[in-house]
Structure 1
Amino acid sequence: MIISNCLLIYIICVERVLHKPMYLFICNLACINLYGASAFAPFVLTKIMTRDYQIKWLPCLVQIFSIYTYGGCDITNLTVMAYDRYISICYPLQYEKIVTPRKVVVGIAVSWLLPFARNTITIAMTAQLNICGEIIEKVYCDNFSFVKLACSDTLSFNIYGGVMMLQLCLTVMLVVIIFYTYVRIILICLQLSKGGRVKFSTCVPHLVALLNFVIGGCFEMFQSLFNMQHVPHTVRVVISLYVLILSPIINPIIYGVKTQKIKEVTLKKFTSST
């Protein structure tokens, strides 16, 4: 997980031929994957090694913040990547004028700052809830499990529920924008016959990464919102870990294998060094 993402970041950073918007966004996605892994893996490994399965209130909130900002950064960056591919394929002659270096920097900055701002508000409200329960039925802290332990007054829950609904609506809106963008891209590519298929191939890794994130996010949401007691505990644990472990592992492999330029540069880098 760490090695594959670090390798992808290294290749894109040191090779000037990859200093283009699409590859910079891929590099940013790898950084986000590392951040997501750091929000989960060290904490859990420490607990397993020390056999101390208790967690205090503050560390739990910190982990919730880290995991949720990771998810927000991931989906926001995937939205920016979808926009980049849309402009590249649908408006190729205007691409360099539209996707300027300044816009690339802004896109990367927004993919980090927006989720951090959103989740700072969420965690600030979560911290105000009175907690009565003691057991979280997961191997890590998440917002839904934490809130289930709360016993605050009705007004606090109503306000909190409204904020969380806005957060969910924003995430759904980003996913809808991404899928709408790729539908437009597919329609354009179908009109371009063979050349269109070649252009669409640059979108395949992005689509796989998107589907991987959406599937993992849906698993996590269903488990949080619905009663899953009839599902074996081991299955529930695996489902809850999907988006935190498999996405950071699979994404760099997808981009390394499916992105032709990255694959060529990587092979050239290692063959020349040997």
Structure 2
Amino acid sequence: MSSPAASSLSSGVSGRAVAALAALAAVLAAAFVLAPRALAASGPGDGFADEEDIRASFRAAFVEYWGSGSAEFPSGLARVVDFWFHYHVVKAVIAALLLIALAWLGVLLWKAFLSAGGVGAGRKAVLGAGGVVATVLALFSVVLVMANIQGAVAPFASLLPMLTDGTADAELAATLDQVRQGLAESADGPTAPALDVMISDFARYHVVMAVIAAVVAVVLIGLSVLSWIGVARSSDPRTRRVLGSFGALSAVLSLAAIVVAVANTTTAADSAPALAALFEGGW
């Protein structure tokens, strides 16, 4: 039978809770990699074998779409775009759950570290290292959530890089040449219906990232302010160091988020040149 000390990392922090959260995070990380493709298939025949299968299907469907002269997706392209939407929704949900688990785990580990006054230096180092790892992984999960929300809101635009990634067959190469020509002439007059859709969805792709990055920047600024308030109110040197580190990190990351928001806003305001850069291999 375990003693209270064995089941507790420090005062008020359960070792079982930390272990359970770590196990949950590991399961969610595996699910993020392995589950989305199967879960995104809404019915028999809606799935794809692998990323190469998705790329090949999208390329063939895009050539058909461009040649149709219509703004409406043909059935083959609609199938790929619908799958890609569901794929990113699944990944966004799993990434959000992973973020929650890692954030909670990080809070418990840092709480244990700050309250571990009577334990050895080795155990303190383990708790501190665990807190750092959980924090870094939580930040990485934020990026995953952002990217997959962006992909879910504008799935067609997020598929476009597959057109220029790798070698194109003769039919696709000819289509891409026509797309590049249409983008080069887009400022001079009306464009093909398919090109209008591409430019519009590409703008939406960047608008959503600008909004997400702005929200993240606000949250990070708030966390930084709260951390520095905690520094001012605390008299414990170790607590002040930890909170000060979080305050500085949050401030730096908020600046990075603001840069991302501004860059995406600028691109969304004039998306045709950025889309042209993508088709020239510069994005």
TM-score norm. by structure 2 comes to: 0.30
TM-score norm. by structure 1 comes to: 0.31
